Amino acid sequence: MIDWVPVVFVTFKVLIFGTCMFFAVKWHYDQGKRMDKRALLRTGCKVAAVFMLGLLGVMLFTFTLAKSLGVDLSLP
């Protein structure tokens, strides 16, 4: 016999996540209509800059950790 608890919980989870995702996308779409082009470009540049700084930080942390563990990072 099938256990109905996982079926009910997974169905409930899919319905709730689907509904929340729909309203999140709708809200962001509606917010995007209000922005002007300069503000959108400025926000995109800020996000790209923060991403690049985060990437640089992760790379520096990785190389520092690898060096402290004695990993040979030299090119052949």
3-state secondary structure of 51: helix
pLDDT on residue 76? 73
pLDDT on residue 21? 93
Sequence-ordered list of residues with C-beta below 8 angstroms from that of 67, at least 6 positions apart, any chain: 73
N- to C-terminal Cα distance for the chain? 61
pLDDT on residue 7? 86
| pLDDT in single tens digits along all 76 residues of the chain | 678 888 889 999 999 999 999 999 998 888 877 767 787 788 889 999 999 999 999 999 999 999 999 988 887 7
3-state secondary structure of 36: coil
The domains of the chain are located at 1-34, 37-69
Closest by CA to 43, choosing from 57, 34, 26, is 34
Q: For residues 43 and 51, is the Cβ–Cβ distance under 8 A? A: no
